[in-house]
Structure 1
Amino acid sequence: MAEKQKEPTQLSLDLEETKTAAPSKANTSSYKVVLKDEPDTKAPRPVVRKKTSVTTRSMTVKISSSKKAEEPAQKPKATPAKQGGTAVVRRPKAAVQTIRTAEQPNPHLVQTHVIRPKSNTVARPKVQPPPIGKRKGYRTSKAAMFLIPLLAATLLFCFAILWWVLSDQQEQRVEPSSLIEDRPAIAFTIERGMTARSVSLLLEQLGVVEDAQALLSYFVENNLATILKTGSYLMHSALSFPEIGTMLTAEPQMVQLTIPGAFTLKTIDDYLVNRLGFAEGTFLQSAHDLATAYGLGFAEGWLLGGTYTVNRQRAANDLALAMYEAMLNEIQKHLSSPQLEVYSIQELLIIASMIQAETQEAGQMQEISSVIFNRLKNEEPLGIDATTRYELDDWVNPIPTHALETKTPYNTRRKVGLPPSGICSPSPEAVHAAFFPADTPYFYYLHDENKQIHFALTYEQHKENIKQYR
């Protein structure tokens, strides 16, 4: 028979103190205590109270542990157990602690500013990349390695093309500076009956020599005083006495030279080089000395084409002098021209050279002259391609388009007025046409394949002539 179980002994635990305690605050806890016969082997775990803290955006207030000690400890109350139950110790419930967020105002602080809610977006610092060339740890790409040489090569190529175009368009002078020396020149004539003394004095006056007596002594000592030759001479001040004596006493070996109209100074120079074996540039220097001696603005256009007999030893100087004197004689025939009231002799010679370059037919020259004067009167570009050909020194090949479109002193398609100099040696017929042009209303003309000329009054008629004859 089983042993009757003992009823558990009920114990009542009074947790109230005899001393009346101060009423506890709401911040308390309740505990359930169960007492058993068996002793609890485990030691009760001490209750650790978490320290409360108040946090704001500006400061954090913490409650010190000293104040907590000042509060009287409230003993838990024991609830009497019912019959057959256990004694329950109840402690007041703890107040629910609310945690204040940073956005909520602190009731213990006076708010001096408006609390703004935090933005949800996180502000990231702006990354500033290092300058090019200062980066470390980067490997230069192949494209970057070849970019600078490629750009340099491209620029060099562009500069080369630009230089070629500009040099091709640059004015090509017929008188190359490398072949011409800019020096004082003197032109004079020894007339029949002049003695060695008068020649010496003349050369001293002209500045060829500094001492006429010294030159006369040289003539006498070398038996040259009685054999000085008459004629026109072109000298410069750098000549020595032997050179002067040789020039004035050389036995003439005459040669006949024919200079057709439309020959330029360079063409005449090449002609003397091939015909007489002169050094290149000899005639160019003679023409330059002639212009200097007579104070001419230019030499091209002042030399009249024709046939001349000159001394072979000094053919360059004699030819330049002979052509210039022939031009002066031709001008004397046309001093009654009404064009001299508007234009100078130099301008009329420029027109004569353009007429000569445009045609070799004397019957066409006066009508071409009328077209030139009509355009000059209306201040229109002359549009004579011969001036551009003279500038390019190319009388055979087609004129490049860029040369016709570039404004230069000799491009009469783009420039209004006359070029700065003549462009060739005119013939007597061209000089006559320049001083006495025909009276026509034409402003345009062209040559067909058979060298026949066709005139037009308007540009529309000129375009019809182009369609029909070219």
Structure 2
Amino acid sequence: MKTSIKRLIALATLLALMGTGGLAWYGNRPLQIEPLPKTLNVVPGTNLRSLSAMLEREGVVGNAQVFWLLGRILGKAGTLKVGVYTLDRPLTPLELYAMIQRGEVSQAMVQFIEGWNWREVRAALAAQPMLKNESASMSDTEILQAIGAEEDHIEGLLFPDTYFYAPHTSDLGVLRRAYRRQHEKLMAAWETRAPGLPYRTPYEALIMASIVEKETGVAFERPRIAGVFLNRLRLDMRLQTDPTVIYGLGERFDGNLRKVDLQHDTPYNTYTRAGLPPTPIAMPSEAAIQAALNPAKTDALYFVARGDGTHVFSSTLDAHNRAVNRYQRDQR
């Protein structure tokens, strides 16, 4: 009720301003921003309403509803650019909108999403207008050398996170930070790993973490998924996980995984080849790395998707086939 009243008051205020020519007065009147300088972080997903609310919380604008309504009238809803903005002088609401619309950031940002592969990372870097995309003309080997990596394959070596950067700097700096963070996360988790795991190196754990990342988006299932795959490794069973097959297909994958694809042998086809694939297949999150190195204790060897994001786990093939019939073949 209070929120509705506040909105009505703001609307009435703005309408009154408009009726008296005061809209121009509000838009051109310097905001009382204290203290200066002030830093604003406009993150991905910020819309006009959430921006206005954030500005009120930060003491930049006195009334979020008036600022929001001004933006709506001026058609600013779809023109916000993410980044870190430094307000170092008094600004009017119109000047503030213009700054965010033009993207006059003191720091820009790029997001690497957990589960992305290297191809998607390169596309994200290329889409950053304020980032020098120096890696675009480099081979993967050259990039690995430039960021100080000792590995032979870049897939999975970057930590998924939001990275801030100064405008017009090189993307190699972002990649170097992402590589170092992933290395630090992996080595820290390796030091606290459960005993008796069948990994020879931290890199093998990273490969498993990438598979776990792609197999489930449900956080609480990750340790159990890892436990199933580790049980299979210990028994010399093939992992038979679709994400590795899809990765091996590369750009040939059209979104529909067919039986012939499962039979098509590549170094990443865990239906045709035993053990782990040769490299990670995506960027694993810290949670997926922890799951790979501290898996749940389970006797399950199989799992099948329920259709709601979760899985049914089974310790025998008969139980697994019944679950497949129920959830995948609709034979209830």
Same fold by TM (over 0.5)? yes
Q: Which residue among 146, 157, 175 is the counterpart of 1:320?
A: 175
Q: Which amino acid aligns with 2:121?
A: I
C-alpha displacement of 1:313? 2.5
Query: How do 1:195-274 and structure 2 match up within 5 A?
Result: 254-274=107-127
CA distance 1:353–1:414, change in 2 (3 Å): same
Counterpart pick for 1:285 among 116, 129, 138:
138
Distance in structure 1 (CA, Å) of the matches to 2:178 and 2:260: 36
- What's the counterpart of residue 94 of structure 1? none
CA distance in 2, matches of 1:311, 1:280: 13
Tell whether 2:268 aligns with 1:387: no
Provide the residue aligned with 2:230 in structure 1: 373
Higher alpha-carbon Rg: 1
Asked if the contact 2:144/2:150 (under 8 Å) is kept, the reply is: yes
Equivalent residue number for residue 345 of structure 1: 202
Aligned twin of 2:102: none
Matched, 1:458 2:316: yes
Q: What's the CA shift string for 1:277-308, capped at 9, x where partnerless?
A: 77989358375434334321321111111111
Contact 1:283 1:316 in 2 (8 A): no
1:333 correspondence with 2:191: no
Tell me whether 1:399 sits opposite 2:257 in the alignment: yes
Among candidates 285, 303, 326, match of residue 445 of structure 1: 303
User: Which amino acid counterpart does residue 300 of structure 2 have in structure 1?
Assistant: Y
1:307 to 162, 184, 193: 162
Cα deviation 1:12-46 (Å, max 9, x = unaligned): xxxxxxxxxxxxxxxxxxxxxxxxxxxxxxxxxxx
Is contact 1:270–1:280 with CA below 8 Å preserved after alignment? no
CA contact (8 A) 1:262 1:356 kept: yes
CA contact (8 A) 1:365 1:430 kept: yes
Contact 1:269 1:284 (8 Å CA) reproduced: no
- Measure, in 1, the Cα distance between the counterparts of 2:202 and 2:216: 21
**Which residue type is aligned with residue 234 of structure 2?**
K
Q: Which residue of 1 aligns with 2:213?
A: 356
Would you say the 8 A contact 1:390–1:423 is kept in 2? Answer: yes
**Residue number in structure 2 paired with 1:421:** 279
Contact 1:369 1:433 in 2 (8 A): yes
In the other structure, the counterpart of 1:435 is: 293
| Secondary structure, aligned partner of 1:282 | helix
How far did 1:389 drift?
Answer: 0.9
Q: Deviations over 1:265-287 (max 9, x none)?
A: 11011112223377989358375
Would the aligned equivalents of 1:370 and 1:438 in 2 still touch at CA under 8 Å? yes
Compare 338-347 and 443-452 and name the one that shifted more.
338-347
Counterpart CA distance in 1 for 2:280 and 2:136 is 17
Q: CA deviation at 1:350?
A: 0.4
User: Could you say what secondary structure the match of 2:282 adopts?
Assistant: coil
**Structure 2 contact 228–300 (Cα < 8 Å) conserved:** yes
The 2-side partners of 1:378 and 1:465 are apart by 22
* Percent pairwise identity: 24
Deviation at 1:432, TM superposition (A): 0.6
Partner amino acid, structure 2, of 1:427? S
Distance 2:141 2:226 in 1: 28
**Inter-partner Cα distance in structure 2 for 1:339 and 1:449:** 33
Q: What do residues 253-275 of structure 1 show as CA deviations (whole Å, max 9, x unaligned)?
A: 63212211011111011112223
Q: What's the offset of the Cα at 1:403?
A: 1.8
Q: 2:64 maps to which residue?
A: none
Distance 2:109 2:245 in 1: 32
Q: Gaps (5+ residues) in structure 2? A: 1-104
Q: Following the alignment from structure 1 to structure 2, what is the Cα–Cα distance between the partners of residues 452 and 255? A: 36
Q: Distance between the aligned counterparts of 1:284 and 1:411, measured in 2?
A: 30
For residues 284 and 370 of structure 1, what CA distance do their matches in structure 2 show?
41
Which range moves more in the overlay, 372-381 or 305-314? Answer: 305-314
Q: 1:305 to 1:400 in 2, by over 3 A?
A: same
Q: Distance in 2 between matches of 1:364 and 1:386?
A: 16
Q: Return closer, same or farther for 1:356/1:285 CA change in 2, 3 Å cut-off.
A: farther
| Helix, strand or coil at the partner of 1:276 | coil
Contact kept in structure 1, 2:216 and 2:310, CA below 8 Å: no
Report the CA distance shift for 1:436/1:461 in structure 2 as closer, same or farther (over 3 A).
Answer: same
CA distance in 2: counterparts of 1:430 and 1:333, whole angstroms: 13
Offset at residue 388 of structure 1 (A): 1.1
* 1:255 maps to amino acid: A
The CA RMSD over aligned residues, in Å, is 2.5
Structure 2 counterpart of 1:235? none
Q: Given the superposition, is the C-alpha separation of residues 283 and 378 from structure 1 closer, same or farther in structure 2, using an over 3 Å criterion?
A: farther
Structure 2 counterpart of 1:66: none
